[in-house]
Structure 1
Amino acid sequence: MTIPALPTYTMPAAEAFPANKVSWAFEPQKAAFLIHDMQEYFVSFYERDSALMQTLLSNLVALKAFCKANGIPVIYTAQPKEQNMADRALLNDMWGPGLNKSPELQQVVAALAPEAGDTVLDKWRYSAFQRSPLEHMLKELGRDQLLIGGIYGHIGCLMTAVDAFMRDIKPFMIGDAIADFSLEEHDMALKYVAGRAGMVVSTAALIGTAQQANPPHSEWPEVLTRSGLLARIARLVEEEEDEFDPEENLIDYGLDSVQIMSLITEWRKHGVVMNFVQLAETPTFNHWWGLLEQALDNVNKEVQG
């Protein structure tokens, strides 16, 4: 009756996404970003340190930062921690008492905590539009595109996308910024949206559409230079630069996942896309700088070409 413990799987890459039936152009000035049900309760059914969850959180944090930088409203859905039987209705039959059993897990995960200016909507049914002012809000804001990320892909994310489509709001499901009960159900949600109700896009592609130009390597900001990044990480782990060993494990130094995702988000603001899993595999400064150098070179080649 309740949600089972959920297995981990590899987040689908953009190359594996289904072909979209439509070719809508993403327009930041017409879009809003929905972070769907990323509450501690729903996330708790996954292994928090799994590559799937770290990739999901990394991409959602990057997308939120991108939206903030581009004036795109950020909207959350979150179930209330107290729901009476009448409010839950048939959800009781399908899922049991839900959050009523664990009200302490009602908050959105810390890495994505709502900020001033964000909107948090009470969530009552699979679709974020049901019993909520979401459609009215979007119309008031002049937004007819909805970016969707969060959990669970084949339930609330899919139903919200379909509901948006039926209200003439263009849904963009971010295929590597949702997670699901299984890879099969994740793929099913993407296939349905791509073929019947909207577009499936990747985090990198979405962010890249609004970042067509980047400075040459010599003009990168401090956090994308070797000396600047070394100074930043040394400060984060409260270590003197001259005593910092670039070959030592940064996790052992005390660098945590939230700090890593903050770095990834800052890099993405400048068009440099890095993956949490890549960094976590070999968490040393020298390895990270090697990955960044390669990414910076690739961006410069794209700009020059």
Structure 2
Amino acid sequence: MAIHFEDYDVTLLRGHCGGPSWGVDPTRAALLVHDLQPHYLDTLSARSRRLLLARVEHVVDWADGNGVPILSSGPRPASDLAQRGLLGACWGIGLSPEQAAQVAVPRLGAIGITRIAKRSYSAFYASDLETELRRRRRDQLIIIGVYASHGILATSLDAISRDIQAFIPFDATADYTAYRHAAALDLIGTMSGRVLAVEDLPQSGAR
């Protein structure tokens, strides 16, 4: 599938924050670093990639410092196109096992994280994500990474269907174009979660 990418300034999307009046509680929340493999990041412009990684590392540090469990999602590698289901018709065979194992944030290698192997756009689909959240008694999920209009939107929709509050820091996510990014944020804010800024994340114990 041919996709058009453009360079844009994510900070200009601040006006798309909004959604339910939920508040992040570090004692209830988990962080999902969504599909942050170099294979996906390399499609972004140099500026978008640099800004995204800086904000992601900031959120990872915040989570680590506030006792928030950190999970990292990525596609389950397929050895046959049929294993990809309908995604195979859209995107082909997908990532190799080596590509799927990579994460573009070195900081994640230095702290304890749980890897979630998923089979479709949503990180909940055919994965252990919900089990991991329930095991930790977490009913809030902060989602960062790529792409806002694909997996992040889909994951937020699955989250609300499971009575899990989704929070999306707009400036720690990215997409192909500013239009797609803004549209995804608007859909999330009206249907499935709260869109906020990285700087809005509270300190431990805040409600």
Q: Could you state the TM-score of these two structures normalised by the residue count of structure 1?
A: 0.63
Q: Who is 1:45 aligned against?
A: 43
Query: CA RMSD of the aligned region, Å?
Result: 1.9
Distance, in Å, in 1 between the alignment partners of 2:155 and 2:108 is: 21
Q: Which amino acid aligns with 1:105?
A: Q
Q: Who is 1:90 aligned against?
A: 86
Q: Could you say what secondary structure the match of 2:171 adopts?
A: strand
1:35-58 Cα offsets, whole Å, 9 max, x none, are: 0000011112123xx222111101
Q: Who is 2:120 aligned against?
A: 125
Distance, in Å, in 2 between the alignment partners of 1:202 and 1:142 is: 25
Q: Who is 1:27 aligned against?
A: 25
Q: Could you say what secondary structure the match of 1:193 adopts?
A: helix
Q: What does 1:65-104 correspond to in 2, within 5 Å?
A: 65-100=61-96, 104=98
Structure 1: tracts of 5 or more residues without a match: 213-305
Distance, in Å, in 2 between the alignment partners of 1:191 and 1:140 is: 31
8 Å Cα contact 2:123/2:151 also seen in 1: yes
1:114-161 Cα offsets, whole Å, 9 max, x none, are: 444200111210000011111111111010000000001100000000
- Report the alpha carbon displacement of residue 211 of structure 1 after superposing the two structures with TM: 7.2
Kindly indicate whether residue 203 of structure 2 is the aligned counterpart of residue 210 of structure 1.
yes
Q: What does 1:163-202 correspond to in 2, within 5 Å?
A: 163-202=158-197
Q: What does 1:100-119 correspond to in 2, within 5 Å?
A: 100=96, 104-106=98-100, 107-119=102-114
8 Å Cα contact 1:29/1:71 also seen in 2: yes
Structure holding more helix per residue: 1
Distance, in Å, in 1 between the alignment partners of 2:44 and 2:13 is: 22
Q: Which amino acid aligns with 1:64?
A: V
- Report the alpha carbon displacement of residue 81 of structure 1 after superposing the two structures with TM: 4.1
- From the superposition, tell whether residues 15 and 37 of structure 1 become closer, same or farther in structure 2 (CA, over 3 Å): closer
Kindly indicate whether residue 55 of structure 2 is the aligned counterpart of residue 59 of structure 1.
yes
8 Å Cα contact 2:34/2:72 also seen in 1: yes
Q: Could you say what secondary structure the match of 1:29 adopts?
A: coil
Query: Which deviates more from structure 2 when the two are superposed, residues 75-84 or residues 91-100?
Result: 75-84
Distance, in Å, in 2 between the alignment partners of 1:10 and 1:178 is: 12
- Report the alpha carbon displacement of residue 27 of structure 1 after superposing the two structures with TM: 0.4
Distance, in Å, in 2 between the alignment partners of 1:128 and 1:93 is: 20
- Report the alpha carbon displacement of residue 174 of structure 1 after superposing the two structures with TM: 1.1
Structure 2: tracts of 5 or more residues without a match: none
Q: Who is 1:154 aligned against?
A: 149
Q: Who is 2:7 aligned against?
A: 8
Q: Could you say what secondary structure the match of 2:119 adopts?
A: coil
8 Å Cα contact 2:35/2:145 also seen in 1: yes
Percent identity between the aligned chains? 32
Distance, in Å, in 2 between the alignment partners of 1:136 and 1:81 is: 21
Structure holding more strand per residue: 2
Q: Which amino acid aligns with 1:10?
A: D
Distance, in Å, in 2 between the alignment partners of 1:188 and 1:202 is: 16
Distance, in Å, in 1 between the alignment partners of 2:177 and 2:115 is: 27
1:253-291 Cα offsets, whole Å, 9 max, x none, are: xxxxxxxxxxxxxxxxxxxxxxxxxxxxxxxxxxxxxxx
Say which structure, 1 or 2, has more relative contact order (CA 8 Å, 6+ apart): 2
Query: Which deviates more from structure 2 when the two are superposed, residues 167-176 or residues 80-89?
Result: 80-89
1:59-105 Cα offsets, whole Å, 9 max, x none, are: 100000110011100000112444422320111111122214xx553
